Amino acid sequence: MFEPVLLRNVDVPDGHLLSTYEAGGGYQALTKALREHTPDEVIDLVKKSNLRGRGGAGFPTGAKWSFVPKRAGKPKYLCCNADEGEPGTFKDRIIMERDPHQLIEGMAISAYAIGAETAYVYIRGEYTLAICRLERAIAEAHAKGYLGTRILGSNFSFVVHVHCGAGAYICGEETAMLDSLEGKRAQPRLKPPFPAVEGLYASPTVINNVETLACVPHIVERGPDWFRGIGPDKSPGPKLYCLSGQVRKPGLYELPMGIPLRELVEDCAGGPLPGRKLKAVIPGGVSAPLIPERGLDVRMDFDSLAAAGSMLGSAGVIVIDDSTCVVKVATRIIEFFHHESCGKCTPCREGLNWVVKVLRRVEAGQGALGDLEQLEALCKGIFGNTFCALGDGAAMGLRAALAHFEHEFVAHIEERRCPFH
């Protein structure tokens, strides 16, 4: 039985309060980092742990930190990506609602490592309980000297501000988030320059996801070898999986990286609803291409899922059973991306508009056989031709649906109706 690391406090009564967090050993890792390690040593610990970003891209966290120039002549910033808009994902909300100090401690250690004195938590505006708990936790941490000036008697000073989003999926894209934080419409920036060199207010900036930052205190406390010993060596650590959709026990589960998707869906989440069979699973939020039932033995880590033609993404695992029309799911996903396209890049803005129209008519039984080639051509026109990954995610997901469930698309066209209605 895997002992929870990130979720160890979430079911503890008053787990969101400082007193509870301290009673469970909270802020010991920050104390240890400040007293026993230089900032570079902390970066080394995180590098050695092989921690990879939990927001979706899986970039090595220690490497990201090491790109921040040592002497910048400008203030450095840490931004916590708590925008969590990827459909099917709710892990960061639960950390912030039930164990916000774990995130704050992670931010303080990370800021110490990169030399930042200010952090902004960019949290989606809908998460009112999480916002409230996080603000309260920040105030508590300040009062106890875990935040503020000369933390725990060291030379390190650090403050955290909460910045509420206002409903735009694109803000989860790190450079769009920076534009949003600067008070602009959220649109992705061309890279380079990368945020580590020129990010918020053109200053060196590290952007990490909530779950990534929550891993940091545990790495400092228990060591990189312990972390690396959990799951596959190149993609290790405890991992939060968000199970939702047509499954008996939806919820948040913490297990090692690399557990088979089938185990997660059938054992943890209890499998399909009574009388139903699994049809497909989206393993990492709707940007991740769906996997048909026969592919469910794939392991849930960055590399295994990439090799299987999908991605771990945000580990938002959405279960689809045999009562559901894949064309309908694909249409809904593309409608989402179309709605959330920021409008900056023409292939995404116009291409998705076109894809939605074609998919809606296919789903309504008014499609023609040429529509499927049209969809493929549109995906080709979008993929790789945009500033950010929003359009790529949309195209990859649709391509997977077309590849694995072509017969359902064809049935809609030939029968001139949705076979599921």
Partner 1 sequence: MREKIEEAAARYPDQRSAIMPALLIAQREHGHLPGPVLEEVADILGVERIWVYELATFYTLFHTEPVGMFHLQLCDNVSCMLCRSEDLLRHLEEVLGIKNGGTTPDGLFTLSTVECLGACEMAPVMQVGDDYHGDLDITRIDALLDRLRAAAEQVPGPDLAPAALAGE
Q: Does 219 bind partner 1 (CB under 8 A)?
A: no
Whether cis (ω within 30° of 0) applies to the bond prior to 238 is: no
Q: Are 102 and 214 in contact (CB under 8 A)?
A: yes
Strands (E), 108-168: 118-123, 159-164
Distance from chain centroid for Cα 93:
11
Nearest distance, CB of residue 36 and partner 1, angstroms:
32
Q: Which two tokens stand for residue 76?
A: 């450095």
Judged by CB, which is closer to partner 1: 94, or 109? 94
* DSSP labels, 216-279: HHHHHHH-HHHHHTSS-TTS-SEEEEEEEESSSS-EEEEEETT-BHHIIIIIIS--SPTT--EE
Q: Which residues pair with 156 in a beta bridge?
A: none
Q: How far is the CB of 29 from partner 1 (least distance, A)?
A: 26
Q: Does 161 bind partner 1 (CB under 8 A)?
A: yes
Q: Closer to partner 1 at the Cβ: 228 or 338?
A: 338
Query: Of 88 and 115, which CB lies nearer to partner 1 in the complex structure?
Result: 88
CB of 363 vs partner 1, minimal distance in Å: 13
Measured from the Cβ of residue 226, the count of other Cβ atoms closer than 10 Å reads 15
Q: Rounded CA gap, 190 and 2, in Å? A: 42
Candidate list 81, 89, 304, 310; residue touching partner 1; CB under 8 A:
89
Using the rule CB under 8 A, give the single segment among 8-16, 18-26, 126-134, 228-236 that binds partner 1.
126-134
- The reply on whether position 252 binds partner 1 by CB under 8 A is yes
For the CB of residue 316, give the shortest distance to partner 1 in the complex, in Å. 7
Residue 58 near residue 52, CB atoms below 8 Å: yes
Task: State yes or no: residue 340 binds partner 1 (CB under 8 A).
Answer: yes
Per CB under 8 A, 124 contacts partner 1: yes
Q: By CB under 8 A, what part of segment 307-336 binds partner 1?
A: 316, 318-320, 324, 328-329, 332-333, 336
Interface positions, 351-370, toward partner 1 (CB under 8 A): none
DSSP3 helix / strand / coil % (the chain, rounded to 5): 45, 15, 40
**Smaller CB separation from partner 1, 61 or 187:** 187
CB of 127: closest distance to partner 1 in angstroms? 7
Q: How far is CA 338 from CA 177, 236, 343, 344, in A?
A: 19, 34, 9, 12
Angle between helices 326-340 and 346-363 (to 10 degrees): 150
Measured from the CB atom, the residue of 82 and 114 that comes closer to partner 1 is: 82
Contact residues for partner 1, defined by CB under 8 A: 84-90, 92-93, 124-129, 161, 163-169, 180-186, 201, 242-246, 250-252, 282, 286, 316, 318-320, 324, 328-329, 332-333, 336, 339-340
